[in-house]
Structure 1
Amino acid sequence: MKIYKSKVDWWLGLVLVYPIFRSFASIIEGEWIGYIGIVLCLLFIVFISKSTRYIISENHLIVKCMFIVNDKIEISKIRKIEKTNSILSSPALSLDRIAIKFNKYDEVYISPKESQAFIDELLKINPEIESTI
């Protein structure tokens, strides 16, 4: 079993700029709730970044985000791997993504930190995968 962590982009922090900004405004106004807001936002960022991972286990690719297994894909069913910058919702914390196409019409976007090692490992298990990377 090999575990690959997700690459994390700086834009993830931008998503939480408003709650953090609002929390600072509360602190300036003397409200203690602002401290809780900042701590919760920071904990959320750390939790998401530490829990998003991609596991290659025997003949399966397991995509996990938080406590949820988003996908369990048979590696033998993977047809194609290609680079993408899609902004569609996915278990990826970076816009530097790869699209995993499997079955007839299914696909998932992920962003492994070590993408080439990840792809090489999939190709070892299933050399039939078409890779455009």
Structure 2
Amino acid sequence: MKFKSRKDVLNTVTYWICLLLILTVIPFIWIEDTESLAVKIFVTILLTAVSSFMISLFYGTFYEINSDEILIQNGPIIGKIKIDSIKEIISNTTMWVGFWKPATAMNGLIIKYNKFDEIYISPKTNKKFIEEILKINPEIKITRK
């Protein structure tokens, strides 16, 4: 079963402000005569690549529950979590720090798996996502905040 990532107002506005700030730099690079053509081209390509990556992260984030694992796609980045390695799911919370947080909204799920690993996701509906996971592994501890 596939779940798209929920998008809230704060994250949407933040993404678009950052994207617009990056893209507004490009015309100013070409207006100024202080840089060489090679530098202008390099910076334009770099900023366009960063913008494309940000768009793919925002619109290409989803979670797919298979028979034994969760596939997490965050733009071009793909990860998998074995469902039998999940110890606990904390619902309706936000994880502010962490290595990889493939989420586009607050009040999502923190999935604790393996011994010390955890990941934050934001499926469209937390309740339905948890129900589907529990069908596969009913021993997962669910904590609601």
State the TM bucket, normalised to the shorter chain.
0.7 to 0.9
TM-score by length of 2: 0.71
Amino acid at match of 1:131: I
Asked if structure 1 preserves the Cα contact closer than 8 Å seen for 2:89 and 2:111, the reply is: yes
Which residue does 1:56 correspond to in 2?
Answer: 65
Name the SS of the counterpart of 2:2 in structure 1.
strand
CA distance in structure 1 between the aligned counterparts of 2:132 and 2:61, rounded to whole angstroms: 19
> Is 1:14–2:14 an aligned residue pair?
yes
In 1, the alpha carbon distance for the partners of 2:24 and 2:115 equals 49
- Secondary structure, counterpart of 2:70 in structure 1: strand
Displacement after TM superposition at 1:86 (Å): 1.6
Asked if the contact 2:94/2:110 (under 8 Å) is kept, the reply is no
Structure number with greater Rg is: 2
Q: Give deviations 1:35-73, integer Å, cap 9, x for gaps.
A: xx89x85x6665333310111111111111112213x11
Measure, in 2, the Cα distance between the counterparts of 1:47 and 1:68. 10
Shift of residue 16, structure 1, vs aligned partner: 3.9
Structure 1 pair 11/44, CA: closer, same or farther in 2 (3 Å)? farther
Q: Which amino acid counterpart does residue 6 of structure 1 have in structure 2? A: S
Would you say the 8 A contact 1:87–1:95 is kept in 2? no
SS at match of 2:14: helix
TM-score, length of structure 1 as denominator length = 0.76
Q: 1:87 aligns with which of 68, 84, 96?
A: 96
1:1-133 map, 5 Å: 2-12=1-11, 13-21=13-21, 23=23, 41=51, 46-70=55-79, 72-83=80-91, 84-89=93-98, 90-133=101-144
Q: Which residue of 2 aligns with 1:34?
A: none
Number of aligned residues = 129
CA distance in structure 2 between the aligned counterparts of 1:98 and 1:87, rounded to whole angstroms: 12
Gaps of 5+ in 1: 32-36
Asked whether the 8 Å contact 1:82–1:98 carries over to 2, the reply is yes
Go from structure 1 to structure 2 and tell me whether the alpha carbon gap of 1:119 and 1:25 turns closer, same or farther (over 3 Å shift).
same
- Decide whether aligned partners of structure 1 residues 21 and 79 sit closer, same or farther in structure 2, where only a CA change above 3 A counts: closer
* Native 8 Å contact 2:89 2:109 kept in 1: yes
Alpha carbons 2:57, 2:76 under 8 Å: kept: no
Percent identity over paired residues: 31
